[in-house]
Structure 1
């Protein structure tokens, strides 16, 4: 049975049982504890935590998940994947243990012809929590599982929580016996390789307290409502139903391995064919599995808007993609491989995720560009490695130090196994113990930092009664002023009945015209006014997507619960904010028109008169591209397009071609903002102008990089744009007057002046260098004879830059022919002392080393240096001691004896 069919049967089983089908959320959610969605229940956390009331009593989903804590272990075992699909069913106060167990059993063992998965019930085992007699009895008495196939485990294995204070409870896991060829008899307690876990049923019935680890926390008491969270591993069930040894042999990953075999001309499973092709633990098999796993994960992350970077999610993606490239290279690939591998993943995953096809060009571009960049890194890393090899050979070492291997890995992105392979080719070993020790230290620091950040979720219980019973009615799409009743006032994290002048409070109204910050648009500003008091609204935030919370500075009188207030939005603020938000949509549309579909939104922020727009793109924009983007956006302004908003279903919005923001979790009903028909159509809950002409002129200020693969455009709209253009015009007028040239001729005139200035600067530099060369000659003429060695040790004149010191030393030492000579020059560069020393070949033959000379000088000027016998350099911090340092160099040479050098 194909994986896509398993998914279909799961969803149909539960929708027929009355569950609401919930589409998979993006892998990127706004959660302080998660880089990626790592479990099927994550999108439902607000319901389990009591932050929101679920819109359904029961639900089912197949959630995309990514877990990356043990990337280095991927491929070493055949059970671990970074990306996986978790099929789940959820109950919020509806059915509990018996219902969850019955649903799972009926699907797993149901006849294939009737929509079931057809597993042999005699091969299924279950585990329950040690103290959960209720679940054990249901399994034995109601389902009919023999008592000997029901095993009990403790909290570390069969008690679930999110790792932070919140709901928790015992769980029951279903295992499939793969047969004696896979391990020992005795059930999952004895061998969890033979008995593979396929389903976990979590019975949320308690609340946990603080603590770390799986069993080091206090159980505070029962939850008000008992909930069910279950998860079936789609990939693991596919292994069983496709009768393959592991997930890498299933229909989703095996084709990727086959594509990698063709690209590398290596064979998967060849080293252990006796146990079944692909079952081997040979290092080559591990690399094939890394390629298959990481290709799928990488594609799904790029699909959801992640781009390679140096931190956070971007770093994880970059690491995955680079492990693919490195593994392919070590298997024998010599050219680029990413496009072929990713195209194979596209073919296997698109039936379940049709959005892959819609975003393929962007996905392909991101992956291919990262491969090209990393191949350059490999090239530069190889050169750096060769320098270490040369140093090792010069010193007689036979090993690459662990800190060097770690630096190559951590700083330069050079993988350790490639370092080891190249070291072996050079006849060297790598200090693996030292490398892994440094890696362990790094992981320990990361884990400690991660644990420190697990602070739990902010307490939003104070808002819960309002979220459940009094969600805010937002009237701001059509109104700038409205009346609302005060439902609650919060001061210092407590509900109060009234608050007076000078207080900063949170005010909850039953309805409001104020826009709460969302979608990159800042919240409205304005005023609340009642019979007894008045306050300035300085911010508005949403809680649970249903409640508008106004942050108010009370400027007069007092506000009280129960009174009616007039809520007035600042008209100028709203007008300019609408201009900026609609302008953002035009910039987005213009970007895609100029750069193509790979330029996808990665974030935005707009406030009155100003917008910034982040987008994924592989390189810097040219001046012509920026001008074209600005022209396209302003052409849409000039066209006076009507701005329409359409309330529709998510499916219909996508069918219309509306663009969605990656990482946003949309509900079933969405709002589409359309500007000029097909010109711009996006899912958006923001405030917009009525016609595009109301945006006013758009002035693009420029673009910049905000991370690897992410660019940012900034622009003004409306009066801010006009004022910017007026200021620019004033500057142009001033230049025209100063240069006595019409504005049209300014570029040519400025270019000519710039050329003249560069020529003059070059001439001045030539004169300066000639003067310095003359001074060097004077220094040479005054060379001292110290132990039959010509010594030139001097402080260079004021104004000699640090970058020139080395060149002057090289010039001076070259003027000595056969006579042994040492030159040391030092300069003053602010509070620094750059210094360089050189010894010619005759001096080096006598045993003089420039590195020792700079060491002597550096010790006197508060610095240090080093280098080779012929040339060395350093820097100090005490310029007032230069003369002392020069004297120390003279003493150093005078103290040496020719026979001792």
Structure 2
């Protein structure tokens, strides 16, 4: 058994199963594609779920992958133990109705014993207690003696996830020796100690669990295996934990170097070292797959991991921004296997740096809030910070609980951890509920599941806008039916169609389906299982019947308008890279017949000058009248040609390439123009932010540009009429009006100042003495905050003492208090005064000792508040 690096193990595994007729596929992105039931990919089979369910045809009945995975349920334990981690790689070999238990077991044994050369005496297996078939294969075919085969119950060796496909499994264990065992004389496979390490799970998906709880045999059983790559590496490298595996240890050593510490010398420091090491791997891969920091969903997971890593870096004594530097070390170790890390290494580092800088700002804000909470506890003689307050610091400012505890303990306080975790639990339940409302279930629903697997749709719409198809299935009011009558809203599937089904951000085609017996208006077309095109429409005449041959006619005007906008987004994508930088990547789009919407990664507002240049570049390209080529090839060839694959799209082995001369080349299944000159004119209508790091451009093309310009022209005409000037003089007219308005404001301010001076003279008769200082508390009517602030300022200077002014303005209370420096020295505090006074009027506020303002809701309480103010002042000016 020789020492083997993690990258070497990965390659040996994938090559081995390629030699067994498996198609090797690259890891899917960590962001699930067309699957709302998962936040992040957490297993090798998750991206292949549609192949297991039959919703899609797999490119091969045998596949093998090494899948990037993120699991976060135990995030709080990461670092505290050397076993927990959030990022891992899962090796797997899969059969979709091809081979079954015998091949899966024999190949697993061959790989482990012959390729990995692990001694047979150190290997054990477990099986489901009722799976005699697996026992026979292990015992009779492989030759394992009975004492090497352990039967375990359903909890350990039966895989199921709700309803749908499920089955027994068999796991392979490595015996690490007695030194890793426990004191239990019966210690064996299944024990909780560290002696027997499970590294490969073979799942035999042979049942279909129905709603009655019955386990029905699948006609075509499947194989789904999963081997933890890091776990296998710990075995091959004879190390204790995943943090000592070569590729991970490289990152760990870099963390130690930055911090100037050594691993395994201080348990507390080791926790932080492991947290930073694990989390930087996770965030690097997540950002590489398009996840951006945010306050919800997977973006929140990323932000939490990143901030947790930053915090533990500070605990290690690392100064300044450092995580972006570590992300490049992750790329060094994993970039060859995952080229997206290399292609985007500068982009990944930039996102991490920006988020880390933001955290520095928020952590300072959180410290201020925590100091205020500590001050409150001192005043109220409390010793424990409420769990709600601690959770608010965590949720709003990303303030980790351990940081809150450390700071509190320095001042002799503690925190209600039970309540904190209760609040955390409530938030998780809210998030889970919100997600479950959108989930379609683990295995999904298909309105045409009653059709056989060979009932597929042939799409001919790239070359034909009219063709004949046969009606294979009709669904009315949620159920299968033989026909649909006049007036019915119906969905149906044809064996052949020219109607494009909504996908890739492009809306579905519209048009008609007809024959001598019926006319159906098609309002939309969407994709179903196995790529079937589901036509949505209304029967306008006659009856649509199962088995009918019908003529399909796509609305040419609608299709052409959509194609203009779609081709324009390809030009826009290229222009954005030219103007803003190569980091720009498409993050979503919507293309219909009236407009386009294009989302992209960028971390600041696009300036008006940049936007103008983008628009200019696109229109300049359109003027060159470049030809648009559309062709199919295999995905490897397309990528070699330089075709851009869009994040979030799921590509098959055969892909469609859209090439615009030498200007742009993307993988795209949408409908496009033949020449970009058909776009006519391209106009950006708006640009703005839609999420953290995501910008959105909306625009129009062709005839819709004319409509947009006509609307602008009408607005200009109406504006010039209101301003009583020509369209050419609108700007000058507005500048003149601004200048006149500014002069009036200046004149008004001077009049207000004079009025305030006069008012100050009138109010001087109401001055009283409190604690040796002149005090004036008055109520005025109809004055806004700025006005009473000016009035209070003048009164304070005139009487050289303390002023409190309250105003009833449109049913709202405004309060301002000011005092001289000598009054502050004697104990006067304007902030505390207005806070107590405002509470009487149903409001609040605060500020500095010499000046503060507040608001209230009940003007009828102003006089009561003014009386209370005198009592407060007497206490302050002792």
Q: Same fold (TM over 0.5)?
A: yes
In the other structure, the counterpart of 2:660 is 675
In the other structure, the counterpart of 1:179 is 177
Query: Once the 2 structures are TM-superposed, how far is the Cα of residue 541 of structure 1 from its aligned partner?
Result: 0.4
- Residue 712 (1) aligns with residue 696 (2): yes
Q: Is the 8 A contact 1:809 1:825 kept in 2?
A: no
In the other structure, the counterpart of 1:27 is 30
Secondary structure of the residue aligned to 1:662 is coil
Query: Once the 2 structures are TM-superposed, how far is the Cα of residue 363 of structure 1 from its aligned partner?
Result: 1.9
Structure 1: distance between partners of 2:877 and 2:335: 77
Between stretches 482-491 and 887-896, larger displacement belongs to 887-896
Query: Once the 2 structures are TM-superposed, how far is the Cα of residue 21 of structure 1 from its aligned partner?
Result: 2.2
In the other structure, the counterpart of 2:113 is 109
Between stretches 418-427 and 553-562, larger displacement belongs to 418-427
Secondary structure of the residue aligned to 1:827 is strand
- Residues 92, 312 of structure 1: CA spacing in aligned structure 2 closer, same or farther, 3 A cutoff? same
Structure 2: distance between partners of 1:638 and 1:849: 67
- Residues 3, 844 of structure 1: CA spacing in aligned structure 2 closer, same or farther, 3 A cutoff? closer
- In the TM superposition, 1:781-792 aligns within 5 A as 781-783=765-767, 792=776
Structure 1: distance between partners of 2:452 and 2:639: 29
Q: Is the 8 A contact 2:59 2:653 kept in 1?
A: no
In the other structure, the counterpart of 2:280 is 295
Query: Once the 2 structures are TM-superposed, how far is the Cα of residue 93 of structure 1 from its aligned partner?
Result: 2.5
- Residues 801, 351 of structure 1: CA spacing in aligned structure 2 closer, same or farther, 3 A cutoff? same
Structure 2: distance between partners of 1:807 and 1:178: 80
Unmatched tracts of structure 2, length 5 or more: none
In the other structure, the counterpart of 2:159 is 160
In the other structure, the counterpart of 1:801 is 784
Q: Is the 8 A contact 1:839 1:850 kept in 2?
A: no
Secondary structure of the residue aligned to 1:266 is coil
Secondary structure of the residue aligned to 2:781 is coil
Between stretches 332-341 and 18-27, larger displacement belongs to 18-27
Pick the aligned partner of 2:315 from 313, 326, 330.
330
- Residue 559 (1) aligns with residue 544 (2): yes
Root-mean-square deviation over aligned CA pairs: 3.3
- Residue 886 (1) aligns with residue 870 (2): no
Cα deviations across residues 811-869 of structure 1 (Å, max 9, x unaligned)? 54554436xx662403224x53344566887699799998578657754x555667899
Secondary structure of the residue aligned to 1:682 is strand
In the other structure, the counterpart of 1:146 is 145
- Residue 13 (1) aligns with residue 19 (2): no
- Residue 684 (1) aligns with residue 661 (2): no
Unmatched tracts of structure 1, length 5 or more: 111-115, 211-216, 272-281
Structure 2: distance between partners of 1:898 and 1:595: 62
Structure 2: distance between partners of 1:739 and 1:826: 37
In the other structure, the counterpart of 2:514 is 529
Query: Once the 2 structures are TM-superposed, how far is the Cα of residue 891 of structure 1 from its aligned partner?
Result: 7.7
Pick the aligned partner of 1:380 from 361, 365, 369.
365
In the other structure, the counterpart of 1:625 is 610
In the other structure, the counterpart of 2:220 is 225
Structure 1: distance between partners of 2:716 and 2:436: 57
- Residue 99 (1) aligns with residue 115 (2): no
- Residues 146, 872 of structure 1: CA spacing in aligned structure 2 closer, same or farther, 3 A cutoff? farther
In the other structure, the counterpart of 2:198 is 197
Cα deviations across residues 636-695 of structure 1 (Å, max 9, x unaligned)? 111111001121111111111111111222100000101122x11111000111111111
- Residues 449, 464 of structure 1: CA spacing in aligned structure 2 closer, same or farther, 3 A cutoff? closer
Pick the aligned partner of 2:813 from 813, 833, 844.
833
- In the TM superposition, 1:366-765 aligns within 5 A as 366-391=351-376, 401-423=386-408, 429-447=414-432, 456-457=441-442, 460-464=445-449, 466=451, 468-677=453-662, 679-729=663-713, 731=715, 750=734, 754=738, 757-765=741-749
- Residue 70 (1) aligns with residue 53 (2): no
Cα deviations across residues 751-792 of structure 1 (Å, max 9, x unaligned)? 565455445435434544553454355344345789999775
Q: Is the 8 A contact 2:564 2:673 kept in 1?
A: yes
Structure 1: distance between partners of 2:838 and 2:295: 40
Q: Is the 8 A contact 1:53 1:468 kept in 2?
A: no
- Residues 131, 778 of structure 1: CA spacing in aligned structure 2 closer, same or farther, 3 A cutoff? farther
Structure 2: distance between partners of 1:582 and 1:899: 72
Cα deviations across residues 414-473 of structure 1 (Å, max 9, x unaligned)? 223333444455665555455444334434544565667666257645423546222111
Q: Is the 8 A contact 2:780 2:805 kept in 1?
A: no
State the TM-score, normalizing by the size of structure 1. 0.89
- In the TM superposition, 1:241-390 aligns within 5 A as 241-271=236-266, 282-390=267-375
Cα deviations across residues 559-581 of structure 1 (Å, max 9, x unaligned)? 22222222222222111111110
Secondary structure of the residue aligned to 1:722 is helix
Q: Is the 8 A contact 2:284 2:327 kept in 1?
A: yes
Structure 1: distance between partners of 2:729 and 2:74: 62
- Residues 330, 854 of structure 1: CA spacing in aligned structure 2 closer, same or farther, 3 A cutoff? closer
- Residues 25, 77 of structure 1: CA spacing in aligned structure 2 closer, same or farther, 3 A cutoff? same
- In the TM superposition, 1:852-867 aligns within 5 A as 855=836, 858-859=839-840, 861=841, 863=843
Q: Is the 8 A contact 2:778 2:866 kept in 1?
A: no
Query: Once the 2 structures are TM-superposed, how far is the Cα of residue 391 of structure 1 from its aligned partner?
Result: 4.9
